[in-house]
């Protein structure tokens, strides 16, 4: 596999602020954030609870709108997409993994994973071609027809990973994906994501304060009170990568 460093950022965050009212109190969740994420990165937004990491992740995923500033994904500005455009953008370019309640309870593991592909209009044969190896890869080939409540938390998160990467998004945004898992399951899950990042060049951006996540991240962006207070890259541990 040929690996080369990308030199243009995939995600550009410029002067992003987010203010909202909590009752009569004005809360400044983000106070002016600048950030570049490169293709193939395995990065983490770290910080204490309330530091603004989930808010920033939501902004990048177009789930929330900044009060000020700009956000670009590739060449596209996504700062103020309306609800429909935001959903369509996520469908095509962003994969999401959440802390909990990741799967649709009435659908099987396979149906959950193929849901996004179905929305994209991918045909059945193509869906099988994409999903079969991914289910094999995450070790859930025998769990395809199980409903979420018939699987463990770790297995559910693996299905969520398959769903997130199956449509080959530009970036996978993972909001505290290990928060509800024991350490053995978390380790196994993170190792899987690291491998997918290395093998398939999937760009991952985490929001987490879990040490297991942070020790695997190639770059840690620390936030506190809505500001980036530290941005530590580890180019010697793992370079941002792309797959040709």
Binding site for another protein (CB under 8 A): 58, 61, 63-64, 83-84, 87-88, 90-92, 96, 98, 101-102, 104-107, 111, 115-116, 119-120, 163
Residue 56: closest CA among 81, 83, 37: 37
CA 106 to chain centre: 23
Q: C-beta of 139: minimal distance to another protein in Å?
A: 22
Sheet strands (E) in the chain? 11-22, 25-37, 42-46, 68-73, 76-77, 94-97, 171-175, 204-207, 219-224, 227-233
Q: For residue 102, give the DSSP letter.
A: -
Task: Considering the complex, state which of residue 111 and residue 231 has its C-beta at the smaller distance from another protein.
Answer: 111
Polymer length of the chain: 244
| 3-state DSSP assignment of residue 91 | helix
Query: Nearest distance from residue 166's CB to another protein, in Å?
Result: 11
For another protein, the closer CB: 42 or 98: 98
C-alpha span between 227 and 173 (Å, rounded): 19
Taking the least distance from each CB to another protein, the nearer of 178 and 218 is: 178
Give the ranges where 46-152 is alpha helix by DSSP (H).
53-60, 83-93, 109-119, 124-137
Q: Are 29 and 226 in contact (CB under 8 A)?
A: yes
């Amino acid at each position: 596999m040929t690996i080369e460093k990308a030199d243009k950022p995939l995600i550009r965050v410029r002067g992003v602020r987010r203010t909202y009212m909590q009752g009569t109190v004005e809360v400044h969740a983000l106070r002016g954030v600048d950030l570049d994420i490169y293709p193939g990165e395995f990065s983490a937004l770290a910080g204490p609870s309330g530091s603004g990491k989930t808010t920033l992740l939501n902004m990048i995923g177009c789930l929330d709108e900044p009060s000020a500033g700009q956000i670009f994904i590739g060449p596209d500005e996504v700062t103020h997409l309306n609800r429909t455009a935001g959903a369509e953008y996520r469908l095509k370019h962003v994969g999401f993994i959440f802390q909990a309640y990741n799967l649709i309870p009435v659908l099987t593991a396979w149906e959950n994973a193929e849901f996004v592909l179905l929305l994209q209009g991918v045909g059945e044969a193509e869906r099988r071609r994409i999903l079969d190896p991914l289910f094999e890869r995450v070790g859930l080939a025998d769990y395809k027809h199980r409903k979420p409540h018939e699987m463990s938390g770790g297995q559910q998160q693996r299905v969520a990973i398959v769903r997130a990467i199956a449509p080959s998004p530009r970036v996978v945004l993972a909001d505290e994906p290990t928060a509800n898992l024991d350490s053995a399951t978390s380790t196994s899950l993170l190792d899987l994501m690291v491998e997918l990042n290395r093998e398939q060049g999937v760009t991952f951006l985490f929001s987490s304060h879990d040490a297991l996540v942070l020790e695997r991240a190639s770059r840690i962006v620390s936030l506190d009170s809505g500001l980036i207070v530290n941005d530590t890259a580890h180019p010697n541990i793992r370079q941002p990568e792309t797959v040709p």
